[in-house]
Structure 1
Amino acid sequence: MSGNAVTAQWVRLGDEEDREGYLVLPQGRDPQGAVIVGGEMFGVPGHARDICRRLAAEGYAALAPNYYWRHVRRAGFGYEEPEYGQAMALMKGLRRDEVLADVAAAHAVAGTYAGSGGTAILGFSLGGHIAMLGATELPFDLVVNYYGGWLLDGGIPLSDPEPPVTKSEAIAANAGFVLGFFGANDFVMSLDEWERVGARLEAAGAAQEQVTYSQAGHGFFNDERPSYYDAEAAQDSWGRTLDALARHVRRG
């Protein structure tokens, strides 16, 4: 991580008073692009905020929307019960049209902070699903999906009535590049579904790279959860993410 200083604040997204996002900016310099960050199902907890800070230290504006704002302001749940169950219930309560409206609001705000660069969307688990969903309707220079589930076969209300990758032609049209990461031991989505996701995007003509880590499982990037974290996969995927941001989002 770069040692460059950053500033952080909550900002309003769109016309809804309580719809907010956690915005982190590089301090003392103009951003060279913007990244919408979607964390796991826990809202915008410390781990998601840290990812935003890491991106801002690299020169990007990073914005993490709170997709649970209709129920909990500035949500950030822990990984143990009862908070785990509370987050799961909220995740199962998300609906497609509402989340797409939130992504659109975040997209508009992020664009105002992008400086000379483009706009990306990056997500982990639930956030990865939302990143792919957002790309079915909105233009992004880069879409990065870390082990987003329910992408093709569905399984949660948010994936109804059509999981995101069933609309792969729209993703191919909207996304400058799609970068995906997956652990072969993932318990949320099978390796078979993951491989079909890649095949579906390829058949639609999407510019893409899908990376599979044979020894990793779900949540391998989250160093706050030792039983999930895989340091080798996390380091490699983050390096690839920064390279993709430099190629597709940073200008000049």
Structure 2
Amino acid sequence: MSVITVRPIPTGELMTGQWQELNTPGGIEAYVQRPAGEPRGAVVVCSELYGVNEYVRGICAELAGLGYLAIAPDYYWRDARRTELGYSAEERDTGMVLMRALGRDQLVADAGEALAFARAEAGGHGVAFLGLSMGGHIAVRAATELRFELAAVFYPGWLLNSGMPLVGPVPPLETAERIAGNGVFVLGFCGDLDHILPPAEWQAAEQRLTEAKVAHELVTYPGARHGFACADRPADHDPASAEDAWQRVRRALAEHL
């Protein structure tokens, strides 16, 4: 699997990722992948509803290959530890149950713990949140409550509508002015065939960010579907769109961190 084009990593150069508690014993854990040398910054990787699976761990490894400390929090930790799901219909149903059990305030608290850990490990450089689908929502929500440098989000859901506990009564872009106040640059990607985040909603998100004076860039890929960036989802994967998006992520990390 390749999600970001990086230089070859010689055997033994990259440390193996590992699970570790972030702060309170018995509290939230995260999968942490460290670069070989001093970090160029830190990236909090927020997963899809499938948990910290092989795809997410692969992203962490490639970010570490670029020189960033990568941390993927286990947001399901209160109900199921170290969840790792594949992309079958049955596993999606399992993920939906876990996702619907998440609460907004819990997510903000967990994102705060992840940010504190990332700041401490970033070597004096900046911190980014990189979110995928559900994780994209988490990253945008975190930007309304926390100060960090970059939110890079792939097909984030529920930006302007509620109805799920993880969203709470107020969708994140209703308070987009807080993102501007926190100084977070938002870089977002969506396909125009996305069935979860349709073009009209994506355009409304663009308008809301502009009105709130949030520094941002939202990119739309013609013919791309929800999940287009994931090679482990062949029915949805769009290699050309994915490659362009990850190149933009690399540039944004270099610029903002």
2:7 to 2, 9, 12: 2
Q: 1:11 aligns with which of 13, 20, 25?
A: 20
What does residue 187 of structure 2 align with? 179
8 Å contact kept, 1:183–1:212: yes
Shift of 1:68: 0.3
Displacement of 1:158 in angstroms is 1.1
Partners of 1:53 and 1:146 lie apart in 2 by 18
**Which residue is 1:25 aligned to?**
34
- Residue 118 of structure 1: which of 109, 122, 126 is its match? 126
Matches within 5 A, 1:30-69: 30-69=38-77
Which residues of 2 match residues 52-131 of structure 1 at below 5 A? 52-131=60-139
Q: What is the CA-CA distance between 1:93 and the residue it aligns to?
A: 1.0
Query: How far off its partner does 1:175 sit?
Result: 3.4
Aligned residues: 248
Note the aligned Cα RMSD (angstroms).
1.1
Per-residue deviation at 1:230? 0.4
TM-superposed deviation, 1:160: 1.7
The CA deviation string for residues 95-123 of structure 1, in whole angstroms up to 9 with x for no partner, is 00001110000001111110131001010
In structure 2, the gaps of 5 or more residues are 1-5
Cα deviation 1:153-200 (Å, max 9, x = unaligned)? 224221121111111000111133110101110011211111111110
Displaced runs of 4 or more, over 3 A: none
- Partners of 2:126 and 2:155 in 1: how far apart? 24
More off after superposition, 58-67 vs 146-155: 146-155
Q: Cα distance, 1:141 vs. partner?
A: 0.6
1:239 counterpart SS class: helix
* Aligned residue among 154, 168, 173 for 1:165: 173
- 2:170 is paired with a residue whose SS is coil
- Work out the CA distance in 2 between the residues paired with 1:218 and 1:82: 18
Q: Residue 42 of structure 1 contacts residue 87 of structure 1 at CA under 8 Å; is this kept in 2?
A: yes
**Equivalent position amino acid for 2:184 in 1:** G
- Give the conservation status (yes or no) of the 8 Å contact 1:18–1:73: no
Question: Could you tell me which amino acid in structure 2 is paired with residue 35 of structure 1?
Answer: V
In structure 1, the gaps of 5 or more residues are: none
- 2:3 aligns to what? none
- Identical-pair percentage: 44
Q: Supply the distance in 1 between the matched residues of 2:177 and 2:92 (Cα, whole angstroms).
A: 35
| Amino acid paired to 2:153 | N
Paired residue type of 2:98? L
CA-CA distance at 1:146 after TM superposition:
0.6
Residue of structure 2 equivalent to 1:189: 197
